[in-house]
């Protein structure tokens, strides 16, 4: 019996594969590689000294999924597969609704047909929208998402909850991530975005390695201590360990549960830039630019539910996140492309 990891070749998926293998689980990865490279799976094998099957398959391909389920016979799925670029989702909403929502529905149908009714789902703090006070708690009203990407997460959460109402045999764990950064401390796997990065940390690392000229800080007039946006950055290894705890609990717990995975601490853009300068040992050129539409001033988690019920707490601080992101970028300036 194994855990099937959809989107397992991606940033968070590959780090979760490492922690699952280290915890003694058998795994199989399913990915269409639209935003990843199979090399990440080879590196996971090198890091852990273990091997696992990798299936090239799209989550919208029901026949393909059926074959994978027949072969792997997973006891649970950790579902990372999805598109995640916020600006692209504004330009191509149908692509996002099709890939993320229709894809998840097809995956759930394949699971149901195969009798595999346990899923851990990658949701996002984005479902708290723009009108809840911080810290965000799981029982706050979700909604008011500011882009189609966020709306896909909101709808998939509802689909999963409806499924549990319809059939008490489903075991669902919804994980709302805050801002994952960092990389495995080996420097062998990390975040490798295609094209110009949308997110802060990959942009910073590309400036530091000389691939981009300077960072644009989107606004310094927010209602925050230094005026720049505040986020709850979480080390991807802590996040990955959260998935191990989540799948262990989901296997034993029927119904739908929701957990925030964050540190509970807010860090501003300028604070992250300073921490990164310390890690890489050089100044980072930046300019203050216009606010980015859809950004909120502050986002951080109340992570006490995950602490209590998953026995999980983020342990790695911002300095470690920056050191590990830098090691990955420095050793792999072009990501997984040689
Ligand atoms: P990623 O792009 O690195 O990984 C996603 C993986 O899914 C990729 O390997 C991609 O090739 C695969 N994929 C996409 N569509 C697919 C499809 N139709 N069929 C099969 N595979 C498909 O992204 P990530 O940062 O590792 O994110 C993983 C999950 O976590 C995503 O669902 C994302 O929305 C969610 N999430 C990410 C963040 C973040 O800041 N990174 C925050 C909150 C939630
Ligand atoms: N920022 C910059 N310059 C950049 C990129 C970002 O100043 O080049 C700022 C943003 O304005 C924000 C902070 O850095 O204040 C973090 O921005 P990111 O794009 O890294 O992250 P977001 O918080 O906007 O978005 C992340 C995930 C989304 C998820 C959301 C939920 O990328 O998938 O968190 O909270 F939906």
Ligand 2 midpoint to CA 146 (Å): 13
Question: In 22-58, which positions are buried (b, 16+ CB within 10 angstroms) versus exposed (e)?
Answer: eeebebbbbbbbebbbebbbbbbeebbebebebbebb
Which residue has the least CA distance to atom 13 on ligand 1?
81
Give residue 73's region: left, alpha or beta (phi > 0; psi -120 to 50): left
Is omega for the bond preceding 176 within 30 degrees of 0, making it cis?
no
> How many Cβ atoms sit within 10 Å of the Cβ of residue 95?
13
CA 44, CA 189: separation in Å to the nearest integer? 7
In this predicted structure, what is the pLDDT of residue 128? 97
> Is the shortest distance between the CB of 335 and ligand 1 below 6 Å?
no
Q: What does the chain come to in residues?
A: 338
CB-facing half-sphere around the CA of 49: CA atoms within 13 A: 3
Nearest-CA residue for atom 33 of ligand 2? 84
Q: How far is the CA of 283 from the centre of ligand 1 (A)?
A: 31
- Of all atoms in ligand 1, which is nearest to the CA of residue 60? 18
Protein residue with least CA distance to atom 6, ligand 2: 200
CA gap 224, 190 in Å, rounded: 30
The residue with tokens 């500011």 is: 146
Using most ligand atoms within 8 A of CB, pick from 6, 8, 35, 335 the residue to mutate for ligand 1: 35
The structure tokens listed for 316 are: 């790695």
**What is the per-residue pLDDT for 239?**
99
CB-facing half-sphere around the CA of 206: CA atoms within 13 A: 21
**How far is the centre of ligand 2, averaged over its atoms, from the C-alpha of 338 (Å)?**
28
Options 149, 177, 222, 300, the catalytic residue: 149
Gap between the Cα atoms of 81 and 86, Å rounded: 15
Q: What is the pLDDT of residues 265-295, one digit of tens each?
A: 999 999 999 999 999 999 999 999 999 998 9
- State the ligand closest to the CA atom of 295: 2
Could you tell me the two tokens for 292?
């980015």
Question: Atom 8 in ligand 2: which residue has the minimum CA distance?
Answer: 200
**Catalytic residue list contains 149:** yes
Rounded to 5 degrees, what angle do the CA atoms 304, 228, 330 make?
85
Residue 118 C-alpha to ligand 2 middle, in angstroms? 31
Q: Given this model, what pLDDT does residue 241 score?
A: 98
243 and 175 Cβ atoms separated by less than 8 Å: yes
Alpha helices in 224-267 (DSSP H): 236-252
Residue 10 contacts residue 74 (beta carbons within 8 Å): no
Letter string b/e over residues 185-196, b meaning 16 or more CB atoms within 10 A of that residue's CB: eebbbbbbbeee
Q: Is 196 in the pocket of ligand 1 (CB under 6 A)?
A: no
Q: 3-state class of 278 per DSSP? A: helix
31 is written with which tokens? 């990915």
C-beta separation of 204 from 234 below 8 A: no
Per-residue confidence (pLDDT) for residue 1, from 0 to 100 = 75
Q: Is the CB of 199 under 6 A from ligand 2?
A: yes
Residues of the chain falling short of pLDDT 50: none
With the most atoms of ligand 1 within 8 angstroms of its CB, the residue from 82, 104, 106, 178 to mutate is 82
State in Å: Cα 218 to ligand 2 middle: 9
Name the maximum alpha-carbon separation found in the chain.
Answer: 56
Any atom of ligand 2 within 6 Å of the Cβ of 224: no
Q: Which atom of ligand 1 is nearest to the CA of 36?
A: 9
- Ligand 2 centre from 300 Cα, in Å? 12
- Residues 66-119: tens digit of each pLDDT: 999 999 999 999 999 999 999 999 999 999 999 999 999 999 999 999 999 999
- Regarding the beta carbon of 89 and ligand 2, being less than 6 Å apart is answered no
Q: Which of 43, 48, 53 is nearest to 21 (CA)?
A: 48
């Amino acid at each position: 019996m194994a855990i099937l990891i959809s989107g397992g070749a991606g940033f968070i998926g590959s780090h979760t594969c490492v922690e699952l293998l280290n915890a003694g689980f058998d795994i199989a990865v399913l990915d269409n590689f639209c935003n990843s490279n199979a090399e990440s799976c080879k590196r996971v094998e090198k890091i852990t000294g273990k091997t696992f099957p990798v299936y090239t398959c799209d989550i919208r391909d029901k026949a393909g999924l059926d074959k994978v389920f027949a072969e792997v016979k997973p006891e649970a799925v950790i579902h990372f597969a999805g598109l995640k670029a916020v600006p692209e989702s504004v330009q191509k909403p149908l692509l996002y609704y099709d890939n993320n929502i229709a894809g998840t529905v097809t995956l759930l149908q394949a699971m149901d047909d195969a009798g595999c009714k346990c899923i851990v789902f990658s949701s996002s703090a984005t479902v708290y929208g723009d009108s809840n006070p911080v810290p965000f708690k799981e029982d706050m009203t979700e909604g008011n998402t500011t882009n189609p990407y966020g709306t896909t997460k909101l709808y998939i959460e509802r689909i999963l909850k409806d499924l549990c109402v319809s059939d008490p045999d489903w075991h669902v764990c919804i994980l709302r991530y805050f801002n994952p950064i960092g990389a495995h401390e080996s420097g062998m796997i990390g975040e490798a975005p295609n094209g110009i990065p949308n997110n802060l940390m990959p942009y910073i690392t590309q400036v530091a390695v000389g691939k981009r000229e300077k960072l644009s800080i989107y606004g310094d007039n927010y209602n925050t201590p230094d005026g720049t946006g505040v986020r709850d950055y979480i080390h991807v290894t802590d996040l990955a360990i959260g998935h191990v705890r989540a799948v262990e609990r989901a296997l034993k717990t029927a119904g739908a549960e929701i957990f925030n995975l964050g540190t509970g601490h807010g860090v501003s853009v300028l604070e992250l830039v300073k921490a990164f300068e310390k890690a890489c040992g050089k100044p980072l050129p930046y300019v203050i630019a216009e606010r980015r539409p859809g950004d909120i001033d502050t986002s951080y988690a109340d992570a006490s539910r995950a602490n209590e019920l998953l026995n999980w707490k983020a342990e790695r601080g911002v300095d470690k996140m920056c050191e590990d992101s830098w090691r990955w970028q420095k050793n792999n300036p072009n990501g997984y492309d040689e």
